[in-house]
Amino acid sequence: MKSVSGRGCAHGLAVGVLLAASVVDVLFAGSDGTSVLPTAGPVWPTLAVVLVGLAAVLWPAGRRPEQLTPQVRTAVPALASALLTAASLLAGEEVVPGPGEIMILLSLLFIAVRHCPPRSALVCGALDAGALLILPLRGDVTQSGDELVALEMIGLVLVGLVVGFAAYLRSMDYRRTVAVSETRRSERLAIAADLHDFVAHHVTGILVQTQVARMMVATTPQDLDPVLVGIERAATEALASMRRTVGVLRDTGPDAAGHRPVGDLAGITELIEGFATPGQRVLLHRDPAVPHDLPHEIQAAAFRVVQEALTNIRRHAADATHIEVRLLDGTGRLEVSVADDGRGGTQLPAAAHGGGFGLVGLKERVTALGGELDAGPWDGGGWEVRAVFPARQP
């Protein structure tokens, strides 16, 4: 919450500075009584360019029309600024650029490099950079060549800094997108392997019970009904497993078995017993109402939730002394939660902290089963990971 509030304050401050600089531009444009366009007042050319630029930079994303793409936002104000420069040169009038227009063009250059599609980023970025670099030509026509070169060098430095920073952030966005995509793909491969295992388990049971039924036909046909009921149940569970997971599988691979997670509710006890370090206390609270015959994929997902949460505690909150794992029955739902009182202390090196994508893949798995996954601060002062699964599918 503090970081969100801090970002909001920083954004508000940046907007205030940009608006104040734009007001300076408008006041400065009308101070000498000159005008590029004879039919307009001395303020209107600069005011029009500034307003177009402010609309492109500050228009809220949630209310922005679809037509106002990043390409339009970054190209149109740059063209307007360049046209004003050309008009001032043709008319021989002095229209000194102010800090507001410079900040607007730098902001649009940042948007172009970071958010425009690759090809458009080059074109729109070049327009914004060009409009910025020709601004000195709009100023005092009596300035010397050395002064003009100095202004251009300053402009090139500003352009280089903005382009470099925006390109760095764009590369970070791309890396995160690739990492999230790979995490989801790996998790889906694991789900595919689980699907294979669960269905194979049920189909094997059907095969065995069918063989038993064939033998009973000749000996005790009156006892066939329980066997047939078992076959029906196994077939229903196999179909349910397929229905819950096959809809989210978009990719498979020959190495899927290597990603297969294992575990069930019974394995959580063993997982907890081997986790605690000296000074730590791990408690398992299992509601007696939690069924023992939950679908295999739900048990495996619950195991993975506990496993990932404990792994994150070891990575990011090794100072935790009290850890609670809860398995609760919530009226037809299985609730799994792992909470700790850690404050973020850890002795692990930075390379062992992980990439932060474990919960992304875990959420993919939980959502595939019709459940929900949340993580956030715990009332006890630490962190809590909580997942809710439907214990039974209709």
Question: Does residue 96 share a domain with residue 216?
Answer: no
* Percent share of the chain, pLDDT over 90: 12
Tell which of 217, 235, 258 closes a domain. 258
Gap between the Cα atoms of 394 and 377, Å rounded: 33
Q: What is the pLDDT of residue 252?
A: 44
Question: Which of 106 and 247 is assigned the larger pLDDT?
Answer: 106
pLDDT attached to residue 85: 85
Residue 68 and residue 117 in one domain: yes
The model's pLDDT over 149-188, given as tens digits with 9 standing for 90+, comes to: 888 888 899 999 999 999 999 999 888 888 878 877 776 7
Residue entry with tokens 């929900």: 372
Q: Average pLDDT for residues 246-271, to the nearest whole number?
A: 58
Q: Is 283 among the domain residues? A: yes
Please report which confidence band the pLDDT of residue 33 belongs to, taking 50, 70 and 90 as the band edges.
very low
What letter represents residue 67's amino acid? Q
Q: Are residues 137 and 228 in the same domain?
A: no
Q: What is the pLDDT of residue 15?
A: 81
Alpha-carbon 25 to chain mean position = 38
The more confidently predicted of residues 213 and 354 is 213
Statement to judge: residues 118 and 194 lie in one domain: no
Q: Structure pTM?
A: 0.51
185 in a structural domain:
no
Q: Which of the pair, 28 or 255, is modelled with greater confidence?
A: 28
The domain containing residue 117 runs over which residues?
12-142
Q: Each residue of 294-329: pLDDT tens digit?
A: 887 788 888 888 888 887 777 777 778 888 999 988
Q: What is the pLDDT of residues 54-103, one digit of tens each?
A: 888 888 887 888 888 888 988 999 999 889 888 888 877 777 778 888 89
Chain mean position to CA 215? 57
Question: Beta-carbon neighbour count of residue 205 at 10 Å?
Answer: 17
| Whether the Cβ atoms of residue 322 and residue 279 lie closer than 8 Å to each other | no
pLDDT band at 241 (very low <50, low <70, confident <90, very high): low
Sheet holding 383-390, edge to edge: 281-286, 322-329, 333-340, 383-390, 372-377
Give per-residue pLDDT as tens, 336-388.
Answer: 999 988 876 554 444 434 444 567 777 877 887 888 888 888 776 788 899 99
Q: What is the rounded average pLDDT of the residues 200-205? A: 58
Q: Do residues 309 and 250 both lie within one domain?
A: no
Assess whether 325 and 368 both reside in one domain: yes
Domain count, the chain: 3
Say whether both 267 and 378 belong to one domain.
Answer: yes
Give the integer Cα–Cα distance in Å for 108 and 222: 82
Same domain, 17 and 138: yes
pLDDT > 70? residue 30: no
Residue percentage of the chain with pLDDT more than 70: 72
